[in-house]
Chains A and B, each alone.
Chain A
Amino acid sequence: MSARNSTRTTTPATRLGLTLVSAFALIALIGPFFVGDPTAFVAAPLQAPSAAHWLGTTGQGQDVLAQTVVGARTTLLVGALVGAVVVAIGALTGATAAFLGGAVDAALTWIINVSLVMPGLPLMVVIAAWLPPGPVTMAAVLALTGWPWHARVVRAQVLSIRSRDFVSACIVSGEPTWRIVVVEILPNLASLLGSAFIGATLYAIGAQVGLEFLGLGDLSGVSWGTNLYWATNDSALLVGAWWTFVPTGVCVAGVGFGLSLLGFALDARANPRLRVSGASGPGPQPTPVRRGDD
C-alpha cells in the first residue's frame, strides 16, 4: 500500500479481493451446470485425483469437484442472504435505539450487549439441534446470533448523525420518525453498512461451515460444510485422502480472504488514518464516518 493512494485508485489487494469474490460468485452461479450430479456414485471410493475425476472421489464414490462446485452455490447463497438479513436487523435495531433514545434505547442497548457477550457457537448448536435440519433453520440460527455487533456499530454512528442540523430540520418540519431513520439517516451509513455486509457474510459462511461440520446441517444436501463433515466421517484423514477436504477448505479460505480484502479496502476508505502514513500527503479527505464513537 503506497502512501499516495487517493480514494479513487484501487490497490492490488483490493483488486485481488474483487477477483476472488467474483470468481467464486461465478462458480456458484453457473458452475453447477458444468458438473455432474454431486451425490451420484460415479467411481470407487477414495480415488486420488485423475483425468476422469480431477479432484478424486469421496469415501462414498462421489466426484469431489462436483461436490465442491455445487457446495459453493449452497454455501455462498446462504452466506450472502444471512449477511444481508443480519445487517438489516442490526441496522434497524441500532438506528431505532439511537433515534428514539430514552427507555427504548436503554432497553435495546441491554439486549444488544447481552446478545454480544453470549458465546455464539454453543447457542447456535443448541438451537439448531432442536429445529428440523435444512437451509431455513441454518439461516435463522445464523441470523439470530449475528446481528448484535452491527446494531452496536450502527447505533454509535446514528447517535452522531442524529445531532446534526439536517436531522433537526426534519424533526422540526414534522417528518415521521421511521422516514427520518430510513430515508435521511441510513443512506449516510452506506459505506459502514457495506463493510458490515461483508463482515456479516464472512461470519455467516464461517459459522455455517462450522455448524455443518458438527453434523447440524442438512446432511442429504451438498454444501462446503457437509463436504467437510463427510470427509471426517469417512475417515479420510486416516487413509491420507487429502483431496476430500483440501479443495473445500481452499474454497472457504479463498472466499473469506477475498471478502476480508474488500472489507479492509472499505475500512481504509472510511478511516483515512489507516491509509495515509502520518502527516504526509494531504490528499482528498473522505467524509469521516467514525467521528461519533467518543
Chain B
Amino acid sequence: MGPLIQLGRRLGLYALAAWVALTLNFLLPRLMPGDPAQALYARFQGRIEPAALDSLRVTLGLSDAPLATQYVLYLQQLAHGELGTSLVYFPEPVSAVIGTGLGWTVFLAGGALVVSFLLGSTIGALAAWRRGGWLDTVAPPLLSFLGAFPYFWMAMAAAWGLGFELGWFPVRHAYGPEVQAGATLEFVASALRHALLPGATMVVASLGGWVLTMRNAMLVVLGDDPIRYAQARGLPPGRIFLHYAIRNALLPSLTSFGMAIGFVVSGALLTEIVFAYPGQGYLLLQAVRGQDYPLLQGLFLTITLAVLGANAVVDALIIALDPRART
C-alpha cells in the first residue's frame, strides 16, 4: 500500500471520528432518558434572560421539528461557529468563552507532552543501553510509582507543598495580576513562571509511560542483528546508540504519541482545575458546576476535534518519517 493511500485511510478514520463526535453531541441531549432537558429548561425558566432561554432551547433540542430537520439546522449553525450562549458567562456566546481558554490549554498540554516525551524517551533509551545499571534499576519502578498518582492529585500535592508552604511558585492563574496580556517580555516570563508547576506535575505523572515504552523497544532492537553487526564492525558505542539503536526503537513511542495526546489533554483539564488555570479544564468545571449545557457541549466538541486534528498531524508525520509505518 502506498503511503498516500495509507494517509488517506488514517485521515478518513479521523474524519469519521469527527462526524461521530458531532452527531453524538447532537443526539445526547435529545435521546437521554427521562427528558432531563425539559426539566432543566423548566428550572432555568424565569431565572435567566429570554435570549439565553432561546439559546438553551436550541442546544437542548427542545423543538417539535423532525430530527432530520433539526440535524441539518444544527450542522448549519456549527458551520458558522455558533455553539449557543453560555449560561454561566451570560451573555457571552459559547464560542467566545471557549476561544479565551483554548490557547492556554494548548500551551500547557502541548508543552508538557513534548517535554515528557523527549525526557522520558531519553531516560528509557539510556536505561536499556546500560541494562541493569543504576538508571535502569531506579528510574522504571520510581516513575511507575509516581505515574500511579492521578495527575490532578500530583498537582494538588505540588500546589500545597511547593506553592503554599514553600512559596516557590505561583499556584493560581496563568499570569500575574501585575502584568498586562500582550507580546511583552514581562508577560511571557510571567506566563512561563505560572505554567512551570502545573506543567511539571503533568510531566512527572506521564514520564513513566514513555520510559517503559522506549526501554522495552530498545531492548528488542539491541538484541537484533543490525546492532550486533555494528558492534562486530567496531563502530564506537555512541554512534551505535544514536544512529542504529534509537532510530529503530523510536517507532513504538511515536505511535503512542498520537494516543498520548488524548490522555495528556484529559490530564491537563484536571490539572488546570487545581491551579485555577484559565484553560478548557477550568471552563469544564464551571460548566459542570453551573449545569451550563451549551458550554459543556461546546467544550466537548472543541476538545475532541482538537485532539483528533493533532492525532491526524502526528500520523501524517509518522508515515512521512518512518518507512516501516507504511505497511
A252 touches B148 (CB 8 A): yes
Per the 8 Å Cβ criterion, residues 149-186 of B in contact with A are: 149-153, 156-157, 159-160, 164-165, 171
Stretch from A93-101, A169-177, A240-248 forming part of the interface with B: A240-248
Q: B204 in the interface, Cβ–Cβ < 8 Å?
A: no
In the complex, chain B residues 100-121 whose Cβ is within 8 Å of any chain A Cβ: none
* Interface stretch (choices B74-82, B91-99, B240-248, B266-274): B266-274
From residue 202 to 216 of chain A, which have CB atoms closer than 8 A to chain B? 206, 209-210, 213-216
Q: Which residues, 102 to 146 on A, are CB-close (under 8 Å) to B?
A: 110, 113-114, 116-123, 125-127, 129-132
User: Min CB distance, B177 to chain A, in Å?
Assistant: 17
Determine if B220 is an interface residue (Cβ-Cβ < 8 Å).
yes
Name B300's contact: one of A125, A216, A240, A253 (CB within 8 Å): A125
Q: Are A122 and B303 in contact (CB under 8 A)?
A: yes
List which B247-299 residues lie within 8 A (CB) of chain A. 258-259, 261-263, 265-266, 269-270, 273-274, 284-285, 288-289, 291, 293, 296-297, 299
Task: Indicate if the CB atoms of A118 and B164 lie closer than 8 Å.
Answer: no
- Inter-chain CA distance A238–B165, complex, in Å, is 10
Q: Let me know if B311 is at the binding interface, CB within 8 A.
A: yes
Residues from 258 to 288 in A contacting B, C-beta threshold 8 Å: 260-261, 264, 273-274, 277-279
Least Cβ–Cβ distance between A13 and chain B, in angstroms: 7
Q: In the complex, what's the smallest C-beta–C-beta distance from B27 to chain A, in angstroms?
A: 11
Contact of A210 among B29, B150, B265 (CB under 8 A): B150
Measured CB to CB, the nearest residue on chain A to B280 is: A122
Q: What DSSP secondary structure best describes chain A's contact surface? A: helix
The answer to whether B316 has its CB under 8 Å from any CB of chain A is: no
Assign chain A's interface to a size class: 35 or more
CA distance A119 to B20 in the complex (A): 12
Q: Which residues of B contact A209 (CB under 8 A)?
A: 150
Question: Can you report 6 residue pairs joining A to B where beta carbons are below 8 Å apart?
Answer: A118-B308, A125-B300, A127-B28, A129-B288, A129-B291, A237-B171
Binding site for B on A (CB under 8 A): 13, 110, 113-114, 116-123, 125-127, 129-132, 206, 209-210, 213-216, 228, 231-232, 237-238, 240, 242, 245-246, 248-249, 252-257, 260-261, 264, 273-274, 277-279
